[in-house]
Amino acid sequence: MQVAVFSTKSYDREFLIKASADTEIHYDFFEERLTERTVILARDFPAVCCFVNDELSASVIAAISSGGARMIALRCAGFNNCNLQSAAEHGVKVARVPAYSPYAVAEHTVGLILTLNRKYHKAYNRVREGNFALHGMLGFDLHGKTVGVVGTGKIGQIAASILQGFGCRVLAFDVHENPECVAAGIEYVELDRLFAESDVVTLHCPLLPSTKHLINKQSIAKMKPGVMLINTSRGGLVDAKATIEGLKTGQIGYVGLDVYEEEADLFFEDRSELVIKDDVFSRLLTFPNVLITGHQAFFTRNALEAISQITTENLRQFDQGEKLTNEVVAG
């Protein structure tokens, strides 16, 4: 089966080719992001393979469906960019990679916390320039601090466990308690109490209509002054303008982001020669206590291998008419 792969980078090509070597799945790689403008490329492919910033809106799904596609293989865990209702209406199956390496994202989360706290990014440059002064480097012991984990699924649970290893007290909020977290001594509390008591708030829940702008002016006001806010989940969970206001007043002490609500027009490309036109993003970059990485939390060799293998298996199941283990359905 021929599959149109969108948003292809060299690393996607390398790992997908390797994973599909002994299969009947044949990938055609497009560097373009899937949008209304590029959807024409999917014409006559029975399946398309997409990533986090590909636009799987109702109109794009209608177009890929009329072009003959009956399957969307998401090579990511999140599916907030896919209109599942529309896919169902057009008889297009959707499958994702529910877990590839939750460790990759959880470890990156802790990396953001440590870097914001101990300023490794500044130390790297300073020492290279022969500047061994410590001013501006003052951090705090993570040991004994309270960390609030919002969403204790696969990634949140691992992040919580690593932070417990640092000697942190971990509070959690989730719509479903994770028994393994309870057994590990993590205390589930209401969201308001998590905000009020946490020195670090880290987000690991999916982006849903109910979680959009979970971090907003009101929730920021409920947090501990000087709180560290970390988001490695999805950009839409955080109202960036409210975050900027929180940073300006000092209510927020640190921000670590791997995702950004309007990242689709920025991330995954070299734009170093271009002017960034997003004033909100540019303002965030001006704060010394903000650290942004470009959606790289997943980016480990282990994760890319797993993504490619599971995506290829999802497509194989579809091609052979088998039940899709990793199907995502509306509802």
235 binds ligand NAD (CB under 6 A): no
Ramachandran area for residue 268 (φ above 0: left; ψ -120 to 50: alpha; else beta): left
Distance CA 159, CA 71 (A): 33
Among 7, 8, 232, 312, binds ligand NAD (CB under 6 A): 232
Q: In the 8-state DSSP scheme, what is residue 295?
A: S
Active site residue 234: yes
3-state secondary structure 210-275: CCCCCECHHHHHHCCCCEEEEECCCHHHECHHHHHHHHHHCCEEEEEECCCCCHHHCCCCCCCCCC
Residue number of the CB closest to ligand NAD reads 153
Among 54, 55, 239, 258, binds ligand NAD (CB under 6 A): 258
Shortest separation between residue 99's beta carbon and ligand NAD, angstroms: 6
Would you tell me how many other CB atoms lie within 10 Å of the CB of residue 185? 10
Q: Is 263 a catalytic residue?
A: yes
Residue type, 132: F
The answer to whether 102 contacts ligand NAD (rule: CB under 6 A) is: yes
297 binds ligand NAD (CB under 6 A): yes
Judged by beta carbon, residue 24 or residue 262, the one nearer ligand NAD is 262
- Of 67 and 98, CB closest to ligand NAD: 98
| Lookup result for tokens 């470009």 | 294
- Span interacting with ligand NAD, options 85-93, 128-136, 144-152, 193-201, rule CB under 6 A: 144-152
**Residue 13 is among the residues annotated as catalytic for this protein:** no
Q: Rule CB under 6 A: is residue 324 a binding residue for ligand NAD?
A: no
Among all residues, which ones are annotated catalytic? 234, 263, 295
